[in-house]
Structure 1
Amino acid sequence: MVQAKYDVLGIGNAIFDVLVRTDEDFLVRHGMTKGGMALIDEARALAIYGDMGPAVEMSGGSAANTIVGIAGLGARAAFIGKVKDDQIGRLYSHDIKAAHVTFATPPAADGPATGCSYILVTPDGERTMNTYLGAAQELTPGDIDPAEIAASSIVYLEGYLWDPKNAKDAFLKASTIAHDARRQVALTLSDAFCVDRYRGEFLDLMRKGAVDLIFANEAELCSLYQISDFDAALTQLRNDVALGVVTRSEKGCVVAVKDGVVSVPAFPIGKLVDTTGAGDLFAAGFLFGLVRGAGHENAGRLGALAAAEVIQHIGARPQVSLKELAKQNGLPV
């Protein structure tokens, strides 16, 4: 096999995050389902933004957050996602490149604005997302560079990408190229509501071998199999995919393969501030451990450490060096 140029290449929605602390009344007033992700149009985006208090703004998107975390651990990382050539799109591009991530997707010259996600964080740390995909849904198979995909040890895809038809085709193209080059393909299920929309298609991807590794949280896993019994759902997951990793909040995570399950505890934290990006950063740590050959247990510990860092402050990007944090905690980097 040819030497990889990148350890992990992510493909996802390039979304600019607008985060604000709020209360339950705001969610009720705007008819939001707490803890979920809703797709919204530009008019609703403007209405929510107009009613929000002071916000923290930063580049985001699920797969992009994961890729930035991987780069922060010292891996070679790249991202494919679509922004428009507008002010927010240029900010987005600068941010992700400043995090040492290769980002070469050409911006759209016209069409919808760069995507934004309005993220409401309640006092319990739970985040509720309202996402205007904008230019992100303009990602097409033409944006997938076969040479870059084939040169990546792991190609990481986000379930949110399954919403727009063109992005879905781009996803499948990338998976085929990666497997032809004998690379691995990972998919995060992203959100229980996302699983609800595409349950059959996600299961089909897993059972046909289009993805090798699945990331999910407990709610997403149970939604996938439409059963409330976690152990029964985990058994089905082990039958459907080569490697499954399921996060369980304060219970840690389980790493499931055909012949067994490894449980890894959560990393202790001082205070839960904002769960935005917890799953994204967990995936970053796990994938880093995987490409470094650290073993499933150490990969799970790296994931737990990265997730613990990000939930102790506002926003889905680490505020300290994950590489130094891993060293301080005796983890392989």
Structure 2
Amino acid sequence: MTTPAYDVVAIGNAIVDVLSQADDAFITETGMTKGSMQLMFSPAEADALYAKMGPGIEASGGSAANTVAAIAALGGRAGFIGQVADDQLGEVFAHDIRAAGVTFTTATRDGEPTTARCLIFVTPDGQRTMNTFLGASQFLPASALDNEMIASGAILYLEGYLWDPEEPRQAMRAAIEVARKAGRKVAFTLSDVFCISRHGGDFRDLMAKGLIDIMFANENEILALMEVEDFETAVAAAAAQVPVLVVTRSEKGAIAIANGERVACGAEPIEKVVDTTGAGDLFAAGFLTGQAQGRSLEQSLRLGAICAAEIISHYGARPMCDMQALVAEKLG
């Protein structure tokens, strides 16, 4: 097996985020479920909701893209595979991810629909409610995969959000096969309870077949995935099927179980939670970077917590400080 050229290669939705502040009344009036992600199925629907937004901040996003951007900020070698349209938002996304130090070579898609966008409403308590139009990202075909990049990555990282459309689902299955043949690890993030409600059977099948090496979930997601109501029961059931299980628990910190070893870490203290957008994405970035650097399970969890705390202290899902300096200060 050759030495990996990348620490992590991720496949995910290539999305431009639009963030705006909103109060709880607005969330209720527009029929949104606070703290969740819901899909918008047409440009007209996205335009109508966008028209109701207050002043916003535009920034490249997407769950897996946020993760690899942070890995690059931490000094890691990262690549990303995701599809944008040949339009202005597509140019914005491509520029941003490359400027972050991530290799991005996926060809643009001609014609409709437009590049994906996510309208994010942040309430005063820092909770984010997301409304996503998947646009061009949901048509990522297996033919667009950079198989050489995938085979050159120590870890292939997949996001559950992209499992919903049929075409990228097949692309992700093909990518798993490429990574497996190259002797690489596969990491998977469950992304949202919404994804599990639609594709939990597929996710459990991947685990049962031994195709997932590292699984990321939050507390609600692990309960939904294992179809139980008790947290410890869910964790035990999932940990028996994957070599590494990582579960985040918001202010209660996180746990990781690897080959029978269980460790935990507390949440990193911050003065104020401003915006929880990207918290899980950045936690995954920290944990995966820790593993790539040969750190212990406990140190990798702590690195994830440090990254998550940085991202929830400001608006947006991309780091706004020198991440390597931050980690050196807090973890050494």
Q: What is the TM-score normalised by the length of structure 1?
A: 0.98
1:300 is matched with 301
1:117 is matched with 118
SS at structure 1 position matched to 2:119? strand
What is the 5 A alignment of 1:31-50? 31-41=31-41, 42-50=43-51
2:225 is matched with 224
Contact (CA 8 Å) 2:84, 2:136: kept in 1 or not?
yes
- Structure 2 runs not aligned, ≥5 long: none
Tell me by how many angstroms 1:28 deviates: 1.3
Alignment-mate amino acid for residue 259 of structure 1:
G
SS at structure 2 position matched to 1:240? coil
1:180 is matched with 181
Alignment-mate amino acid for residue 154 of structure 2:
S
Tell me by how many angstroms 1:239 deviates: 1.1
Alignment-mate amino acid for residue 11 of structure 2:
I
Tell me by how many angstroms 1:260 deviates: 2.9
Does residue 103 (structure 1) correspond to residue 104 (structure 2)? The answer is yes
Cα distance in 2 for residues equivalent to 1:7 and 1:260: 23
What is the 5 A alignment of 1:185-264? 185-264=186-265
Alignment-mate amino acid for residue 156 of structure 1:
Y
Cα distance in 1 for residues equivalent to 2:31 and 2:20: 17
Cα distance in 2 for residues equivalent to 1:28 and 1:255: 36
Cα distance in 1 for residues equivalent to 2:182 and 2:9: 14
Does residue 25 (structure 1) correspond to residue 25 (structure 2)? The answer is yes
Cα distance in 2 for residues equivalent to 1:150 and 1:127: 35
Q: Which moved more, 1:11-20 or 1:36-45?
A: 36-45
Alignment-mate amino acid for residue 91 of structure 2:
R
Does residue 16 (structure 1) correspond to residue 30 (structure 2)? The answer is no
Tell me by how many angstroms 1:330 deviates: 2.8
Contact (CA 8 Å) 2:67, 2:285: kept in 1 or not?
yes
* Aligned-residue RMSD, C-alpha: 0.8
Q: Which moved more, 1:257-266 or 1:197-206?
A: 257-266
Cα distance in 1 for residues equivalent to 2:229 and 2:264: 19
Q: What is the TM-score normalised by the length of structure 2?
A: 0.98
2:267 is matched with 266
1:7 is matched with 7
Per-residue Cα deviation, 1:161-197 (whole angstroms, up to 9, x for no partner)? 1011110011011111101111000000001111111
Q: Which moved more, 1:136-145 or 1:255-264?
A: 255-264
Cα distance in 2 for residues equivalent to 1:54 and 1:184: 42
Q: Which moved more, 1:260-269 or 1:210-219?
A: 260-269
Tell me by how many angstroms 1:148 deviates: 1.0
SS at structure 1 position matched to 2:240? helix
Contact (CA 8 Å) 2:273, 2:312: kept in 1 or not?
yes
What is the 5 A alignment of 1:92-171? 92-171=93-172
SS at structure 1 position matched to 2:84? coil
Cα distance in 2 for residues equivalent to 1:122 and 1:330: 31
Alignment-mate amino acid for residue 219 of structure 1:
N
Q: Which moved more, 1:256-265 or 1:17-26?
A: 256-265
Cα distance in 2 for residues equivalent to 1:115 and 1:320: 27
Tell me by how many angstroms 1:144 deviates: 1.1
Stretches (4+) displaced over 6 A: none
Cα distance in 2 for residues equivalent to 1:90 and 1:209: 38
SS at structure 2 position matched to 1:297? helix
Tell me by how many angstroms 1:305 deviates: 0.2
How many residues were matched structurally? 331
Tell me by how many angstroms 1:134 deviates: 0.3
Tell me by how many angstroms 1:111 deviates: 2.1
Per-residue Cα deviation, 1:28-48 (whole angstroms, up to 9, x for no partner)? 121111111111022221111
Cα distance in 2 for residues equivalent to 1:260 and 1:236: 15
Cα distance in 2 for residues equivalent to 1:186 and 1:153: 10
- Structure 1 runs not aligned, ≥5 long: none
